[in-house]
């Protein structure tokens, strides 16, 4: 087992990386929330999802988090009647992405708070390490 403060830094760093990726995926979903297909009847943007997994760091003996998979949400697309739209099918319906803005905003808020919590752990661990070094210097 390594130094507990170094282990805390390792765990928090993995959390920062995972939440950063999650924020990027949420941003992609939000940016493409109204992206339709390019041709008549084609599928629009499909919402992306993020799955996490734990991973044992053999050097430190701590479990860290990592992105297990960036997948696709298989829920149905929404359809709106707009026969003048270039992506309208033969019936006049346009498929829109399966992105729910409320869900994406909630995911973004949760990822942001998790990122901030991991950042606080990093700051606190660095402060404790600095205090320990000062104590060792002055003794």
Rounded to the nearest 10 degrees, the angle between the axes of helix 101-137 and helix 4-31 is 160
Predicted pLDDT of residue 41: 82
Predicted pLDDT of residue 57: 87
Cβ-defined contacts of 115-119 (< 8 Å, 24+): 115/15, 115/16, 115/19, 115/20, 115/23, 117/15, 118/12, 118/13, 118/15, 118/16, 118/19, 119/12, 119/16
List per-residue pLDDT tens for the chain, 139 residues long: 468 888 999 999 999 999 999 999 999 999 999 999 888 888 999 999 999 999 998 888 899 999 999 999 999 999 999 999 999 999 999 999 999 999 999 999 999 999 999 999 999 999 999 999 999 998 7
């Amino acid at each position: 087992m390594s130094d507990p403060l170094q282990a805390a830094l390792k765990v928090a760093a993995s959390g920062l990386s995972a939440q950063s990726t999650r924020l990027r995926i949420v941003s992609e979903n939000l940016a493409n929330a109204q992206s339709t297909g390019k041709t008549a009847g084609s599928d629009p943007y499909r919402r992306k999802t993020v799955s996490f997994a734990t991973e044992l760091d053999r050097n430190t003996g701590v479990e860290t988090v990592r992105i297990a998979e960036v997948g696709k949400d298989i829920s149905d697309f929404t359809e709106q009647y707009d026969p003048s739209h270039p992506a309208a099918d033969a019936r006049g319906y346009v498929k829109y992405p399966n992105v729910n803005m409320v869900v994406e905003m909630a995911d973004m808020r949760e990822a942001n708070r998790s990122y901030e919590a991991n950042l606080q752990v990093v700051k606190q661990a660095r402060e404790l390490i600095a205090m320990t070094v000062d104590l060792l210097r002055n003794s």
